[in-house]
Structure 1
Amino acid sequence: MTNEAGRAPVEVVEYTDPLCPWAWGSEPVFRGLRAALGGRVHWRRVYCILFDHDDDPAPDPAAETAWYSRYVEDISGHTHAPRAYPLSRVAASSWPVSLVAKAAELQGTEVSERVLRRLRESVFVLGEPADTPALALSAARGVAGLDHERLAADAASTAVLDRVRADHAEARRPVRAVLSVPDGSSPHPGAAKETPD
């Protein structure tokens, strides 16, 4: 069943980041939900940019990595997702992985799902976040059905950059419902996280 635009009448928006430990832990649940819904909804991913390029660098990178590793361990305890040990560093930027993930969408759902999985695995399986353009493209190398040259060109394009910039902006304009989620016992109750911007 589709509407006049040829899309499913219900849209699911997944706010995510390839380097986010919560997104990594929830990926199997979302995969199951997409399969169960079987195309009856329009599923759209918005890349939020967890690690922004204008974030202040850590004064002590080793201490930050140790703290972040414990943070990821706590989340893994909650989601039961595997995690890399040790983690080499905290990602410097989510922009490269988000650009590559968004560019992969232009090659179809199956390819983009595989690329996104590889980008997530860079940090949560291998412990080496794909936080540069070269690392993000390298993480995607060898994905079945992927045109790697096209991926590199699309990831560097103004059109894909504009789409990720739009995602970044959308993620910072949450709908009212996520601003009023009551804080319960969950370490991540589903409410939007307030930041200075």
Structure 2
Amino acid sequence: MTAGGPLTVVEFTDPACPWAWGSEPKFRWLRAALTGPDGRGARWRRVFGILFDDDDDPAPDPDAEAAWYQRYIADIAAHTAAPYAPRLRWVARSSWPSSLAARAAEAQGAEVAEPVLRRLRETTFLLGAPADRAETVLDAVTGVPGLDHARLSRDLASEEVRSAVRRDWEETRDPFPEVLTIAGPGPHPGRAKEAGERYRFALPTLVFTGPAGRAVVPGWRELDEYVEAAERVAPGVRLTAPRRSAAELLDRHRSLTGPDLVLLAGSTDPPPGAVRVDGVGGPVWLHPSEAATHPALRG
């Protein structure tokens, strides 16, 4: 990225959102292009939108709901090519525990927060058992390198972290006017969703803000649309991400899907020594040290 003034990216997401899971390869590319290896450049901020809220009505038939949502995930995967669990055992009862943990992990730095969030996503899309209670969240992230597990346990229960995620909840439910009337084509054009008596940003949504204004890119979009938005609001910025080998990507990210490899490495060949965990539609490749503590492989 060449310097063109300050650029901020806000990502509205949820650990259990299937569209966000499918968008991860593009967002990994964008983060690499925007922030660079030295950590300077654009500022990227996540907002946890709480897809499944605590006051949502419980399903009268949880098994039927899980079967329906499994079909919904499969329909989305037909567009994203993201792998998913062969069986979804239940639909996440709440997004709060995983969102609190993901926010709390940010205090320990990006090198910890990124694999923590990835693990939390994988409880739904690799295990089929969403981490939706504090105990299951803490179990899922056990063994993440560099993670101070005791600190995470304290922080996710803190009022400070809950207040931060509550602000995320509010920010998500204050969508910009331009996303209220989107009627574009596509499987997920990103029109704001009804949420009780309010509306919320569709997940995922990226908001780019720079010297030349604001650009909102909601829903399921091609990589070129994100690049164009960033370059439009920050004149002079030119986004490129270095092509890395599969081995380098595995060392960096610790968990890779087929679409990650295609976009970031330009190949479908798995990284040497990676541990394969099969999902519907393709595998997830884990770094050996990640596999050693990953809940998909325990026992």
User: How would you bin the TM-score normalised by the shorter chain?
Assistant: over 0.9
1:35 aligns with 2:48: no
Aligned ranges 1:143-158 → 2 under 5 Å:
143-158=144-159
Which residue of structure 1 aligns with residue 104 of structure 2? 103
Matching residue of 1:192: 192
| Paired residues, number | 191
Task: Give 5+ residue unaligned stretches, structure 1.
Answer: 3-7
Give the Cα–Cα distance (whole angstroms) in 2 for the partners of residues 121 and 193 of structure 1: 25
CA distance in 1 between counterparts of 2:111 and 2:43 reads: 15
Q: Deviations over 1:44-99 (max 9, x none)?
A: 00000000010001111111111000000011111110000111011100000000
User: Where in structure 2 are there 5+ consecutive unaligned residues?
Assistant: 198-299
Q: How does the TM-score come out when normalised to structure 2?
A: 0.62
Question: Which residue does 1:160 correspond to in 2?
Answer: 161
CA displacement, residues 145-173 of structure 1 (integer Å, 9 cap, x when unaligned): 10000011110100000000000010000
Q: Taking CA–CA contacts closer than 8 Å with sequence separation of 6 or more, which of the two structures ends up with the larger relative contact order?
A: 2
The one-letter amino acid paired with 1:47 is F
Quote the offset at 1:110 in angstroms.
Answer: 1.2
Find the aligned partners of 2:151 and 2:126 in 1 and give their Cα distance: 26
What residue in structure 1 maps to residue 208 of structure 2? none
RMSD: 1.4
| Alignment correspondent of 1:12 | 9
- Alignment-derived partner of residue 75 in structure 1: 76
Aligned partner letter, 2:78: G
Cα-to-partner distance string for 1:83-125 (whole Å, 9 max, x where unaligned): 0011101110000000000000000011100000000000100
The aligned residue for residue 131 of structure 2 is 130
Shift of 1:180: 2.9
Distance in 2 (alpha carbons) for counterparts of 1:170 and 1:61? 30
Query: For 2:78, what is the secondary structure of its paired residue?
Result: helix
- Letter paired with 1:22: W
Secondary structure of the corresponding residue to residue 178 of structure 2? helix
- Matched to 1:189, the amino acid is P
Moved over 6 A (4+): none
2:120 and 2:77 map into 1 onto residues whose CA distance is: 18
Give the residue type in structure 1 aligned to 2:90: R
SS, match of residue 195 in structure 2: coil
Greater CA drift, 19-28 or 34-43: 34-43
State the distance in 2 between where 1:196 and 1:176 align. 18
What is the DSSP-based 3-state SS (H/G/I as helix, E as strand, rest coil) of the residue aligned with 1:151? helix
* 1:5 aligned residue: none
Give the SS at the match of 1:194: strand
Q: CA deviation at 1:14?
A: 0.3
Q: Partners in 2 of 1:54 and 1:107 — Cα distance?
A: 30
How far apart are residue 175 of structure 1 and its match? 1.2
Residue aligning to 1:49: 50
Q: Whole-Å Cα distance in 1 between the matches of residues 191 and 90 of structure 2?
A: 27
Which moved further from structure 2: 173-182 or 132-141?
173-182
Q: Distance in 2 between matches of 1:33 and 1:177?
A: 23
Report the CA distance between 1:183 and its aligned residue.
Answer: 2.8
Structure 1 residue 22 corresponds to structure 2 residue 29: no
Match of 1:62 in 2: 63
- Sequence identity of aligned pairs in percent? 60
Between the aligned partners of 1:187 and 1:97, the Cα distance in structure 2 is 26
- Work out the CA distance in 2 between the residues paired with 1:42 and 1:20: 23
